[in-house]
């Protein structure tokens, strides 16, 4: 890995997020109105490059600092490039100190087959 890539990766981690994508799909997460502890409403998300034929999104959140804690996620009908605050219910973050969370979004076709995946990391608070 070249020095430029190392610097770019370090800058992304300092900013609190890293987005990866498969099949051209990407996601970004904004805590926005998320309440400090165990908000049951999902944070706002913006998607790009969602594959044609996507009918549902399967979204999961995991705590990279406490991997045994289940935050769950949900499935929502896909109707556009963004998901508003509260698009699905889950167990929101409430770490004793800042933690980093991984959001995994899978694009599902009408048969339930995964046709695209995107991931984003976001620190809270």
In angstroms, the Cα distances linking 92 to 9, 68, 123 are 26, 14, 13
Cα–Cα distance, 122 to 109 (Å, whole number): 27
**Token pair recorded at residue 45:** 């998300």
Where do we find the tokens 């109707």? 79
Q: Tell me: domain 17-124, CATH 2.160.10.10, correct?
A: no
Grade residue 22 by pLDDT with cuts at 50, 70 and 90.
very low
Cα–Cα distance, 25 to 8 (Å, whole number): 20
Q: Where are the domains of the chain?
A: 17-124
Average of pLDDT values for 104-113? 97
20 or 63: whose pLDDT is higher?
63
Grade residue 10 by pLDDT with cuts at 50, 70 and 90.
very low
**How does pLDDT run across 33-72, given as a tens digit for each residue?**
999 899 999 999 999 999 999 999 999 999 999 999 989 8
The total number of residues written for the chain in this structure: 125
Rounded to two decimals, the pTM is 0.79
63-72, 86-95, 108-117 — most confident range: 108-117
Residues forming beta bridges with residue 19, ordered by sequence position:
120
């Amino acid at each position: 890995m070249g020095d430029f890539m190392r610097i770019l990766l370090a800058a992304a981690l300092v900013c609190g997020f890293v987005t990866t994508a498969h099949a051209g799909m990407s996601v970004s997460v904004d805590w926005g109105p998320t309440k400090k502890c165990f908000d049951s409403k999902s944070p706002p998300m913006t998607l790009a490059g969602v594959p044609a034929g996507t009918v549902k999104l399967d979204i999961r959140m995991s705590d990279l600092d406490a991997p045994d804690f289940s935050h769950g996620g949900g499935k929502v009908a896909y109707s556009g490039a963004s998901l508003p605050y509260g698009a699905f219910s889950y167990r929101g973050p409430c770490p004793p100190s800042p933690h980093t969370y991984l959001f995994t979004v899978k694009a599902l076709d009408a048969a339930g087959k995964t046709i695209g995946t995107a991931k984003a990391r976001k620190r809270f608070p």
